[in-house]
Amino acid sequence: MRFITKTLTLATKYKQWHDELQKDNHPLYTSSSHKHYYSIVANLLSVQGGVCAYTEAVLCSPDTVSIDKWVDGEFQRFDCFGQLDHFDPRLKENNGWLWDNFFVIHTDINIKEKRSNIVTHLKPDTPGFSISDYLDYNIEHHIFYPKVDLDNELQQSLLNDIDYLGLNHGTIVYMRKMSLMPFLTKRRYNSLTDEEAKSQLYQFFTAYEMAVEKVMALDN
Amino acid sequence: MNRISILALTNYNMKINNLHISSLNQLKEINFNFTFPNGHPRAGEALDKVCFIGQSGTGKTSLLKVIGGIIERGFRRKGYAYQIAVESADKSLRLTVDNSIKGIAVGHIFQNNSSRNVTNDKLNDEYIKLVQECNPLIIYMPANFLSKEIGKSDDINKMEESKVYSFTSENIQSIWHKILDDIKKHKSHEIEIRTKIQELSKVSDLPAKAIKDILNDLYDELSRLEEVENNPLKKIANECLDIVLSNFKLRVDTKFSVTENLDTIDFIRIIDKNDNPVPNGVLSTGTLQFILSSLPFYLLKPNNTIILFDEPERSLYPDIQKMLVNHYNKFTNNSQFFYATHSPIVASCFDPWEVFELKFNNEGNVYIEQYYEGDRHVNNYKIHPKYLTYELILKEVFDVKNTDGDDRARLLTELIMLEEKLKQFKLDGDNTSDSFKTTMEEYQRIGKLLSWPVKFD
């Protein structure tokens, strides 16, 4: 999970419509059947770099939503592994089309029981947000965990956030492990430079950053 | 237009080496190569066993039925059109048929370097020639074969000419009658001798020595019948059932009983470890499944047979599932198995070239997941079920990536956090504080819940 600069510059038709919405009086959220749904998703994927806002699992190539694919501030229906998520589920009912509350996330972590909970700390577009302030990464099991120097209350709260956001969801952990291990192994034995690894990496950027440091220290 | 083609390798054995389906439900232009890949010592030969896996609705059962239907009924299979080609092992005879035009079978026979066209009837004659040496031709175990009621009378004569043992059919009683014929004859003979012994004791007009001699002969015959090599029930127990029934703390009762009903399967009686009889009606579904699926293979001794088995894992515990494929195979000779399964344990018994994973594409049609990259060569297979743990089979073969479950994932995160805390305590030289002890206790508690090896590195 990395900081996201959530500019709304591509989906201009949605922006125009959105800016005229009355607070706490949004039209009913109707998911993918709404005329702006795919424009919102495409704009978000553009600012998210084609990956899930929380897990950084790849959802589409960034080229899929590049500026040349837009027509008059709108984006046509398209296929990707992602779904639109309301970060704060309480806002869904009356402010269901609020841009600030939207992220595109991997389908497998969009679990209703999980996503109906309140995430208290890990919102990736919070100004100054840095995941390393909160979480650490275990390179043996490829899971995120609360930093051990935080106080217990915050740790418990972060354990909830990790759970609700699906950061250690089984599917994601397996994908992350299988995706990163070749890079980390090559880095460990110096058959790949850090620059080369980063240029080839297309998902799980934060996990790589956290893991590679530990991997390189293994043999010292 | 539906069109199905089968290339069958045969030297009076019906090993199918290729199946092409142009259109059958959601199967469109799909080709199954049932041969060993390049680089294998048997490259190009038909596989001995095949395993279809895939989500429900991808057509696994339909495939078994299609294969069974064509092999059983030759070129007069009704309901859909197809292409079929049959070829002898020495390549001297090759028969191809295109039945994709409604009601018309156009055939071509290549024999001894010459070729000729044939008509509907002659096609069927040629086909019959090819399969007549196969005995039985097909054994088909559907997924629900336990639900077929055994014991109702039907026309036994229906089975006399048939070489097809389909446990879907109406004449299920006849199938069992035929399978169990030897045992019934043996039992009947035994009853006959015992009856004679009883009657002889009532005869008073024969000299005592004569009676004694006859009785001795009858008892000798009884002893002979009791010997394992002459007693089919004991052979079933020793060679087929007991080795697995012991897992259920059961075994076959091989002792004689006059209460046996020779008209049903019930005369194969099961007893528990204390010799108490366990009536078939109270046997567990899994036990019954195992017994009723094993007996046909053991008793029919399939030779050059196509064996179709849908969901062999039904109601069976994992340890039994693991041994099924080898268990059935050991009773057959030169036969070809086609399994359809949802079980990763069953799938783990196959080489990757034997597994055909059916998946839906975006259009809802089915395709075969390719397990190799580049040429179809043994070295190019990227997935090997036999080398994987069951968890990895779920992930890599069955595409179930989330094998941990959300509750475990949450607890695992807590455990890792506690482990990191313990490392910090170690760095600080603290192994006595209350905080350390609390952390260690919690770490061990969660570790146990997760079956986690507790480490102190």
Query: What is the tens place of the pLDDT at every residue in A24-61?
Result: 889 988 887 788 999 999 999 999 999 999 999 999 98
Pairwise CB contact (< 8 Å): B406 & A170: yes
Closest Cα of chain B to A15: distance in Å? Answer: 32
SS (H, E, C) chain A: CCCCCCCCCCCHHHHHHHHCCCCCCCCCCCHHHCCCHHHHHHHHHHHHCCECCCCCCECCCHHHHCHHHCECCECCCCCCCEEEEECCHHHCCCCCCCHHHEEEEEHHHCCHHHHCCCCCCCCCCCCCCCHHHCEEEECCCCEEEECCCCCHHHHHHHHHHHHHHCCCCHHHHHHHHHHHHHHHHHHHCCCCCHHHHHHHCCCCHHHHHHHHHHHHHCCC
Mean pLDDT across the stretch A175-188?
A: 94
Those of residues 378-397 in B touching chain A at CB distance below 8 A are 395
Contacts of A168 in chain B (CB under 8 A): 409-410, 412-413
**Which residue of A155, A164, A171 to mutate against B (max B Cβ within 10 Å)?**
A171
**Which residue of B401, B423, B442 to mutate against A (max A Cβ within 10 Å)?**
B401
Assigned token pair, B101: 């035009």
pLDDT band at A23 (very low <50, low <70, confident <90, very high): confident
Q: Which residue on chain B is closest to A175 by alpha carbon?
A: B401
How distant is the alpha carbon of residue A3 from its chain centre? 9
Mean pLDDT across the stretch A187-216?
A: 94
Confidence (pLDDT) at B97: 55
> Which residue among B409, B417, B420 places its CB closest to the CB of A169?
B409
> Which residue among B362, B417, B424 places its CB closest to the CB of A146?
B417
Pairwise CB contact (< 8 Å): A159 & B424: no
Q: Which residue on chain A is closest to B435 by alpha carbon?
A: A152
Cβ atoms A14, A43 nearer than 8 A: yes
Q: What digits encode the pLDDT tens for the residues B361-419?
A: 888 889 999 999 999 999 999 999 999 988 899 988 888 888 888 889 999 999 999 99
Q: How many CB pairs under 8 A join A and B?
A: 61
Confidence (pLDDT) at B258: 56
Q: What digits encode the pLDDT tens for the residues A51-106?
A: 999 999 999 988 999 999 999 999 988 888 899 999 999 999 999 999 999 999 99
Contacts of B409 in chain A (CB under 8 A): 143, 163, 168-170, 173
Contacts of A155 in chain B (CB under 8 A): 417
Confidence (pLDDT) at B435: 93
Contacts of B420 in chain A (CB under 8 A): 136, 138, 145, 148
Bond prior to B136 in cis (omega within 30° of 0): yes
Assigned token pair, B348: 């783990």
Assigned token pair, B203: 């005869």
- Model confidence at A128: pLDDT above 70: yes
Closest Cα of chain B to A173: distance in Å? Answer: 8
Closest Cα of chain A to B261: distance in Å? Answer: 55
> Which residue among A114, A148, A175 places its CB closest to the CB of B424?
A148
Q: Which residues contact A181 (CB under 8 A, 6 or more apart)?
A: none
Q: Which residues contact A142 (CB under 8 A, 6 or more apart)?
A: A173, A176, A177, A180, A207, A211
Contacts of A148 in chain B (CB under 8 A): 417, 420-421, 424
Q: Give the phi and the psi of residue B236 in degrees, each rounded to 5.
A: -60, -45
Distances (CA, A) of A25 to A28, B333, B422: 9, 75, 51
Assigned token pair, B308: 């179709």
Task: Measure the CA angle with vertex B419, ends B414 and B423; round to 5°.
Answer: 145
Least confidently predicted of A11-15, A189-193, B35-39, B448-452: B448-452
Q: Which residues contact B50 (CB under 8 A, 6 or more apart)?
A: B32, B34, B336, B337, B338, B339, B354, B356
Confidence (pLDDT) at A88: 95
Please tell me the distance from the alpha carbon of residue A206 to that of residue A188, in angstroms, as a whole number. 18
Nearest residue to A86 via CA among A121, A58, A114? A114
Confidence (pLDDT) at B353: 96
Pairwise CB contact (< 8 Å): A170 & B402: yes
Please tell me the distance from the alpha carbon of residue B91 to that of residue B111, in angstroms, as a whole number. 9
Positions of chain B with pLDDT under 70 = 1-14, 70-112, 116-136, 146-163, 168-174, 203-204, 256-267, 454-457
Assigned token pair, B56: 């429900």
Pairwise CB contact (< 8 Å): B413 & A175: no
> Which residue among B402, B408, B420 places its CB closest to the CB of A108?
B402
Assigned token pair, B406: 């959300």
For chain A, give the longest Cα–Cα distance: 59
Closest Cα of chain B to A134: distance in Å? Answer: 12
Confidence (pLDDT) at B120: 60
Closest Cα of chain A to B279: distance in Å? Answer: 45
* CA Rg value for chain B: 29
Closest Cα of chain B to A133: distance in Å? Answer: 15
Cβ atoms B232, B300 nearer than 8 A: no
Pairwise CB contact (< 8 Å): B409 & A173: yes
Confidence (pLDDT) at B401: 82
B288 touches chain A (CB under 8 A): no
Pairwise CB contact (< 8 Å): B405 & A170: yes
**Which residue of A112, A148, A153, A159 to mutate against B (max B Cβ within 10 Å)?**
A148
* CA Rg value for chain A: 18
Orientation angle between helical segments B285-300 and B318-329, nearest 10 degrees = 10
Q: Which residues of A touch B (CB under 8 A)?
A: 79, 108, 111, 114, 136, 138, 141, 143-146, 148-149, 155, 159, 162-163, 168-171, 173-175
Confidence (pLDDT) at B6: 44
Cβ atoms B354, B381 nearer than 8 A: no
> Which residue among A79, A111, A170 places its CB closest to the CB of B403?
A170
More confident residue, A183 or B259: A183
Residue B294, judged by CB atoms within 10 A of its CB (0-12, 13-18, 19+), counts as buried
B426 touches chain A (CB under 8 A): no
**Which residue of A80, A108, A134, A168 to mutate against B (max B Cβ within 10 Å)?**
A168
Contacts of B422 in chain A (CB under 8 A): none
Assigned token pair, B359: 């998946």
Those of residues 313-372 in B touching chain A at CB distance below 8 A are 362
Find the length of chain B: 457
Phi-psi bin for B170: left (phi > 0), alpha (psi -120 to 50), beta? alpha
